[in-house]
Structure 1
Amino acid sequence: MSLADLSIAEAGEGLRARTFSSVELLSAHLERIAARDSALQAFVTLTEDRARAEAERADDELARGEDRGPLHGIPYALKDLIDTAGIRTTGGSKLHLERVPQRDADVAGSLADGGAVLLGKLMTYEFALVGPSTDLPFPAARNPFNRDHITGGSSSGSAAAVAGGLVRTAIGSDTGGSIRSPSAYSGCVGLKPGYERVPRRGVIPLSESLDCIGPLSASVKDAALTFDAIATPSDFDSAAAEIGRDIAGLRIGYARDWFIDDPALQPDMGVAMDAAASDLSILGARIEEIALPDYEAMEAAGAIILHAEALAYHLDDMRSRSADYGRQGFNSLAAGVAVTGDDVERAHRLGRKWRSEIDALFARYDAILTVTTLATAPAFSAFDGESPVWTPMRTLPFNLTGHPVLALPMGFANGLPMGLQLIGRHGGEARLCRIGAAYEAGTDHSAQKPVFAD
């Protein structure tokens, strides 16, 4: 087995026992990237020289007994919306091809402070909008389980890198599902933290009211360790400390009505969701079907806010540099022109109402279970590269309400991953990781990996 396949915890144990060095761990990841990334197209910028210097420093510090935490000496990568001092941050757009920030985003700074080793920057749909597109500077990332299919967006490179075994953990952003849908389509774990649990400063915004920053990782524990490293210090429990705890007696509300009668639902998905609810019950959780607020109304309200805020951020560049936007991205932004201030105010008001209604459910339940996407990842042939294609998801409402969500693999259909999501109360990321880790350990869905020639 390659060192690149070790979990974060396993790699950390090896580094501290001096079984291998951070430089050797990095080399294994670089070899894996060299072997696979030409097929996956996950990386936009590879920071090999910086990574070697950081790995050497990590080895020196650990040898001196200076331990910065669980990610000390561990390779990771960043979505190319996240600023990195001295390293270009393009946002996946021609507008920013030469943009080199002077300082790290807060999330990048937290990982650097924790001794993590930056491998590079990962593919994103242009400014986290829509895709895949054919008129952008970088080719779209490809699904490790079938390279003819997409990874989902907009954290497309993050999902491809993690699911493809290039790195154990990566950082993405989620405004309407951009951590969770790529995780579901690509068979990895995605954690969308609660709103403002992870600082957003230095991340190119899409919608300030909805944006969240979080990890896409190879396992729940990897995600929990990464979240603990990047979250704003608080009185909430450590997510990693909850891993391994029993879930017997925890109450989970199953929002089956949110998807089961939707004509867009792939039949395998409904069967897998019912099986997941059964698996959680076998593990000791108490499952009850519940009703959530109307999905379509919540999605529409969230879309209004997203379009209005995205347009406001990009309007000056759209006027002065319209030709530098990809066609899909520009048209998506232009849709915000039809949104009025009254529309936005009403959408926020409804969002607060739905947040209160879901909060009330958490007086009874420890988590809510529902599907992440209604179908597996579509093929690239379903897209023309210029016109957006709707892919049915169940994600945007929890950006609107601000609740944390953990996305998990729950099986395969026709060789492609399927995913569920667990929603928690505000500040409840640790409880979600506890439940998710128990489900992961009690099933074999996360153990199945894509096949590569190397």
Structure 2
Amino acid sequence: MTAADLSIPEAAARLRDGRLTSVALTEAHLTRIAERDGAYHAFLHVAAESAQAAAAEADAAFSRGEDLGPLQGIPVAIKDLFDTADMPTTYGSDLHAGRVPTGDAEVVRRLRTAGAVLLGKLETYEFAMVGPVFDRAFPPAANPWDTSRATGGSSSGSAAAVAGGLVRTTIGSDTGGSVRSPAAYCGAVGLKPTYGRIPTRGAFPLSPSLDHVGLVSASVAEAAITFDAIADGAYATTRLGTSLDGLTIGYARDWFAGDPETLPALLDAIDGAASLLSLLGARIEEVTLPDAADFEAVGAVIIHAEAFEIHRRQLAASGAHYSRKVFQNIASGLCLTPDDLAHARQAAARLRTRLDRTVFSRVDAILTATTLTPAIPFADFAGEAARWTPMRTIAFNVTGHPALSVPCGFADGLPLGLQLVGKTGDEATVCQIGHAYEMASDFSASKPPRP
């Protein structure tokens, strides 16, 4: 074990009592990246020099008695969808190779203000679209549990970096499940906050109606700490470690149990999680959600219509620089009309209202699946057509409710994840439940084999 294996609370305590410096902590993470990332391809750019300078400044601030909060001196890594003024930002696309922005995305600015040490930029599916693809200059990030398998996307490098022990917390984005599904596939924690809770300024948009800034972290507590440092009016850490007595969790079992793609081991794992949460004091009540297909249809129209408008001119001018599957996926929005988009947005509002009135009026949170299977082999993504993986994530981009993916078991040695969904603005309850489950189980403590 090295300093790179310390949790954020452990490292923060040592930074403050003098047992550890940020320079030493940062060097431990840089060493870990050098040792392991050749197998994972999580980092597109490692900012060693600027990270060491930021770490030295964090140490100097501590010595002056300045404390900017729990992320001061803590290494963090950023998905390559967010502008960073001192390192390349390419949006995962060869089209923007070598691009260095003139300013920081808002979330990056907030991390710097919090005293975090930015280690570098993480692999993403191209423009946060489909993947993995193999006709780009940089290879797709690999799943640390089995490097012949994908991580899920689009926050692929974020999940690989956390699961592989390269960094404890990362910034990603989530438009249809892009932090939650990679977290589930890689055995990490993924938090998609309430829509708009973390500003998206300075992130390349995929679908502004559904885009969320999210996190992939090594634990629920570390996700909550990171969230509180960068979100508007955030208090996700306030109920960590408190009892679940008095909470009602709606178990949306039928929402995934009857799907033919649901792995039996996943159903067993989430049934077991419901039982454990009951033993921890929560009341479990089965609930019925609107059909998953309704959310998926609405989300697909919004994403394809909005993404096509964003890329229309660039696609016409530089389409040859897009990977083929991404080009095809964006171009599919050509057939959608403004009326189609307007109707889909109206349907999204109706689904959100229905969920609030019929489910969240009775329960404090929802328990369901994140993905229906473990990670899929890279070989399954060969060929011309995009390969869609079975998930239950886009519904909460459509409605904007906060959602958290937490490891809940294994199938054939590969991680599985459950999903907890909260009321609008209530990340605190979602993290309270997720943390209680994490502490009472041992799945988050399991680590992949060394590369």
TM range (shorter): over 0.9
> Residue 452 of structure 1: CA displacement?
0.7
User: Residue 411 of structure 1 corresponds to which residue in structure 2?
Assistant: 409
Aligned-pair distance for 1:390? Answer: 1.3
Query: Identity over the aligned pairs, expressed in percent?
Result: 56
Structure 1 residue ranges, 4+ long, deviating more than 3 angstroms after superposition: none
Provide the C-alpha distance between the structure 2 equivalents of 1:240 and 1:249, rounded to a whole number of angstroms. Answer: 19
Q: Which residue of 1 aligns with 2:29?
A: 29
Provide, for residues 279-298 of structure 1, a one-character-per-residue CA deviation record: whole Å limited to 9, x for no partner: 11111110011000111011
CA contact (8 A) 1:131 1:385 kept: no
Write out aligned runs for 1:341-420 (5 A).
341-360=338-357, 361-384=359-382, 386-420=384-418
Structure 1 pair 170–389 and aligned structure 2 pair: CA distance change class (3 A): same
Deviations 1:398-453 (A, max 9, x none): 10101000110001000100001000001000111111000000101101111215
User: Structure 2: which amino acid aligns with 1:383?
Assistant: F
Per-residue CA distance 1:227-256 (angstroms, 9 max, x = gap)? 001102x2x5x1112111111221000001
Q: In structure 1, how many angstroms separate the alpha carbons of the residues matched to 2:384 and 2:217? A: 30
2:112 corresponding residue in structure 1: 112
1:286 matched to which residue of 2? 283
Superposed, 1:229-308 pairs within 5 Å as 229-232=229-232, 234=233, 238-308=235-305
Quote the Cα distance in structure 1 between the aligned partners of 2:93 and 2:351.
Answer: 35
List runs of 5+ in structure 1 lacking aligned partners: none
- Counterpart of 2:19 in 1: which secondary structure? coil
**Residues 17-416 of structure 1 correspond to what in structure 2 (within 5 A)?**
17-232=17-232, 234=233, 238-360=235-357, 361-384=359-382, 386-416=384-414
- Alpha-carbon deviation of 1:385? 5.7
Question: Aligned partners of 2:86, 2:108: CA distance in 1, in Å?
Answer: 12
Distance 2:300 2:69 in 1: 39
- Give a deviation string over 1:367-422, Cα, whole Å, max 9, x none: 00100011000011111164310100000111010100011000100010000100
Quote the Cα distance in structure 1 between the aligned partners of 2:20 and 2:53: 17
SS of the equivalent of 2:226 reads: helix
Mark the CA change 1:385 to 1:188 in structure 2 (over 3 Å): closer, same or farther. farther
CA contact (8 A) 1:134 1:385 kept: no
- What is the letter of the counterpart of residue 71 of structure 2? L
TM-score (norm 2): 0.99
Tell me, what secondary structure is at the counterpart of 1:149? strand
Please give the alpha-carbon distance, in whole angstroms, between the structure 1 residues aligned to 2:292 and 2:4. Answer: 40
Report how many aligned residue pairs link the two structures.
450
Match of residue 434, structure 2, among 421, 426, 436: 436
C-alpha contact 1:135 1:385 (8 A) present in aligned 2: no
2:367 and 2:155 mapped to 1: Cα distance?
A: 23
Unaligned runs of 5+ in 2: none
How far does residue 98 in structure 1 lie from its aligned partner after superposition?
2.2
Q: What SS does structure 1 have at the residue aligned with 2:386?
A: coil
What is the CA–CA distance in structure 2 between the aligned matches of 1:166 and 1:242, rounded to whole Å?
Answer: 28
TM-score by length of 1: 0.98
Greater CA drift, 69-78 or 379-388: 379-388
User: Per the alignment, do residues 385 and 65 of structure 1 end up closer, same or farther by CA in structure 2, a change over 3 Å counting?
Assistant: farther
Residue 159 of structure 1 aligns with an amino acid whose one-letter code is A
